[in-house]
Amino acid sequence: DISETQKKDSMGMDYIPVYEDEVGGPAGTVRISLEKVQRAGVRTVAVKRQALSRDVRGAGMVMADEARLAMVTAKFSGFVQKLDVRTSGETVEKGQKLLTAWVENGDLIKQIVDLAAFADDPRMVEQAKDNLRLFDVPERDIAAIAQGRASKRTITFEAPLSGTVLDKPAVDGMRFQAGDMLYRIADLSEVWVIVQIPEQDLAVVREGQSAALTLPSMPGEMTTGTVDFIYPELDMDTRSGRVRLRVPNPDGRLKLGLFAHAIISAPSSGAL
């Protein structure tokens, strides 16, 4: 509503004057004074075409990679004669000796005796070796038995992978049965961070997207990860889904159970 002369509207308010030098340009153009531009912090940039993206935020926890976990279990009954790795938290290398066990199982003892007794019969030797492998007897023990350099009642347990000992139920002198866990070991050079993502944001999250992580335990630092898997189920109470991030951990600073904030860079549909 415009007027050529100053007047009041139906509510008694004065019309706002507009001067000729403030009007110009194509229809629909809005002009703002330099003072207002500066006060509003307006910035101008050259127009360019680029992909749009949005940040998806979530919180989660550091966990061990399930594919990098191993349990050392007994396949025969016996006694722990001597521990070589004595405490949880120790770092071990693949093939490192963990403990020496005194064999109680009669079937295993028979195979050990057969391997030593039939040293001149290649067929029997190979059969005895295969039977010992079924009990997870290490190759170095098998070779020592075949050469008559080992006891017929002691077997060693070796680390199946390089990593950190998480649990160690085994103690010196302990009796164990077949199936008992003696050690649990995890390779923590790469870990998972399981992040809770709001339901409305799950649609834009894809495997392979990058994520930035900050942890209260590492203030001022940021690490990166990659979306590795999107779990198929939704938490009905929180209406959120779980997203698994794979995060390198070469220095071991990411400890299991640490809390983490994640920002996933997700592309938007469209371009600017």
Segment 189-195 shows an average pLDDT of: 97
Q: Could you report the per-residue pLDDT of 89-112, keeping only the tens digit for each?
A: 999 999 999 999 999 888 888 888
Residue 268 Cα distances to 5, 6, 50, angstroms:
50, 50, 11
Q: Could you report the per-residue pLDDT of 194-250, keeping only the tens digit for each?
A: 999 999 999 899 999 999 999 999 999 999 999 999 999 999 999 999 999 999 999
Q: Could you report the per-residue pLDDT of 138-163, keeping only the tens digit for each?
A: 999 998 888 888 777 899 999 999 99
Are 189 and 248 in contact by the 8 Å Cβ rule? The answer is yes
pLDDT at 30: 67
Task: Report yes or no on whether pTM surpasses 0.75.
Answer: no
Q: Which residues of 15-31 are buried (b: 16+ CB within 10 A; e: fewer)?
A: eeeeeeeeeeeeeeeee
Tell which residue, 186, 185, 170, has the closest CA to residue 101.
170
